[in-house]
Amino acid sequence: MTRYQNCSGVTRRNCLQVGLGGFFSLGLSGALRAADASRLIKQHQADACILVWQDGGPSHYETFDPKPDAPVEIRGEFGTIPTAIPGVRFSQHMKATAKIADRLSIVRSIRHDQGNHGAGNHYMMTGSPPRIPVGCGAFVSFHPSMGSVVSAEVGAPAGMPAYFSMPSMSRSGGPNFLGAKYAPFVVPDNPNSDNFQVRDVALPKGLSEAKFSNRQSIRQQIDALKRFRDEAAADPLVAVDEFYDQGQQLMTSPQAQKAFDIHSEPEETRAKYGRNSFGQRALLARRLVEAGVPFITLYEGGWDHHRQLFSAFDKKLPPHEQTIAALIQDLEERGMLERTLVIVLGEFGRTPKINKDGGRDHWANAMSVMFAGGGTPGGQVIGATDRQGHSAVDRVLAPENFVSTVYRKLGIDPNKIVHTPEGRPVTYVTNPEPISELM
């Protein structure tokens, strides 16, 4: 029998013995950790999460945290409007979300120290700051993203991937050491198009299911190269096999065919979401949740307003926030909101002072995050920035708290120890404390 050992002469059997010995020696602390994980699974508050990622860093001033009493060079051109939460005001273009604010929780006090896009994306998308300095435009992955962790821990529904991202993957939305099988399934096509059809979810024209199965069998016979299944080997052929299998499942899955048939939606519903690409992606996200998909990222760029912020928001913000409100209301009417977590955020906020080009620059000292559904208490604002929106000063929270909240909502232990293919133990989040007001 072949014996596998490392360069120090340690065999797999040695490792198993050490592992079992460690398990039985954990004592009370280990038992408590196991009990806590079991409790999380049983008491999880959400079955799915729709993450609206506003790439570029949306201004907290012009959305959920206006400062009407600040000097004009800080408060900007927009006024404020009342909301369904007594005494709480949003910026003037947030009309639809203001009306349903009693279903929302707004966190105004998350801050961090990663003020460029590459690093800020990574920190907020993973709950882990980048290990080394990265460039502003970098696409980096030092830790698994929320979507990939949910994919690994919750699993996929029959015939469908567990993690979708539309229309592209976010900068740090990948699986890192969890492996390629937990990468997002990207849907780049525009669901607002009359001929919308998701590639890889339909057989090519002229190819019957029988012929497709026959070709799949031939591929398996030809592709007989030996696979190294040990995770430490990181054999790329294993990932290729998994992608082939996923593609085959999608092409023959009635669940996938039904979920992506957005044309079957009543025109009235489609209009409520907004007859634009973002609106129809949000509607598609609702359909994916109905199909059992646990994590969907709606990746929306164009929020990096260094110049002409106010004229840009005049056009961009009303239809965008109308879609968000329509999604929440539709989920509620269908009895799905209680088990579906909806989150809206970007990588950071914007500078207090308006620059010479009429915009705001990157600012990680303060940002706003919107939560709805998934057992989240509505009608509350958590934390606060100072009078000029310069910095979070009350109930100051970190990206780790944000990501831990998402995991706990979905029944995942953020303090769980997992191992990289090299055997290095890591936790999903170094500070597993969730935002208690949201639980």
Whether the pLDDT of residue 285 is over 50: the answer is yes
| Collapsed DSSP state (helix, strand, coil) of residue 328 | helix
Whether the pLDDT of residue 154 is over 90: the answer is yes
User: For residue 341, what is the DSSP state?
Assistant: E
Q: Which of 66, 125, 281 is nearest to 193 (CA)?
A: 281
102: CB partners within 8 A, 6+ apart? 84, 85, 378, 379
Alpha-carbon distance of 373 to 50, in angstroms, equals 10
State the average pLDDT over residues 376-397. Answer: 97
State the average pLDDT over residues 46-65. Answer: 98
422: CB partners within 8 A, 6+ apart? 232
First to last CA, the chain: 52
**Cα 138 → chain centroid:** 18
- The residue with tokens 């609206």 is 52
Q: Which amino acid is at 200?
A: D
Q: Which amino acid is at 28?
A: L
Alpha-carbon distance of 97 to 372, in angstroms, equals 11
Q: How many CA atoms lie within 13 A of 169 on its CB side?
A: 19
370 backbone dihedrals φ, ψ, rounded to 5°: -100, 135
Domain ranges of the chain: 46-438
Q: Are 316 and 54 in contact (CB under 8 A)?
A: no
Residue 114's pLDDT band (cuts 50, 70, 90): very high
Which pLDDT score, from 0 to 100, does residue 38 have? 53
| Collapsed DSSP state (helix, strand, coil) of residue 409 | helix
Which pLDDT score, from 0 to 100, does residue 254 have? 81
pTM for the model stands at: 0.83
| Collapsed DSSP state (helix, strand, coil) of residue 73 | helix
Alpha-carbon distance of 234 to 422, in angstroms, equals 9
Residue 330's pLDDT band (cuts 50, 70, 90): very high
Element (H, E) at 237: helix 236-251
Span of 65-79, 198-212, 328-342, 350-364 with lowest mean pLDDT: 198-212
CATH number for the segment(s) 46-438: 3.40.720
Q: Are 191 and 197 in contact (CB under 8 A)?
A: no
Alpha-carbon distance of 372 to 338, in angstroms, equals 9
Which pLDDT score, from 0 to 100, does residue 256 have? 84
Q: Between the CA of residue 234 and those of 163, 238, 254, 298, what are the distances in Å?
A: 21, 8, 32, 30
CB atoms within 10 A of CB 339: 17
Q: Are 36 and 30 in contact (CB under 8 A)?
A: no
Which pLDDT score, from 0 to 100, does residue 243 have? 57
Angle in degrees, CA 239, 410, 100, rounded to 5: 125
Which pLDDT score, from 0 to 100, does residue 310 have? 98
Which pLDDT score, from 0 to 100, does residue 29 have? 42
pLDDT in tens, 8-55: 343 434 433 333 333 333 344 444 444 455 555 556 899 999 999 999
Which pLDDT score, from 0 to 100, does residue 292 have? 97
pLDDT in tens, 230-276: 554 455 555 555 655 665 666 667 888 899 999 999 999 999 999 99
Residue 94's pLDDT band (cuts 50, 70, 90): very high
User: For residue 64, what is the DSSP state?
Assistant: T
Q: Are 378 and 372 in contact (CB under 8 A)?
A: yes
Angle in degrees, CA 275, 277, 279, rounded to 5: 60
Residue 198's pLDDT band (cuts 50, 70, 90): confident
- % of residues, the chain, pLDDT over 70: 78
The average confidence (pLDDT) of the chain is 86
Residue 301's pLDDT band (cuts 50, 70, 90): very high
Alpha-carbon distance of 62 to 41, in angstroms, equals 38
Partners of 297 in beta bridges = 51, 165
Residue 224's pLDDT band (cuts 50, 70, 90): low
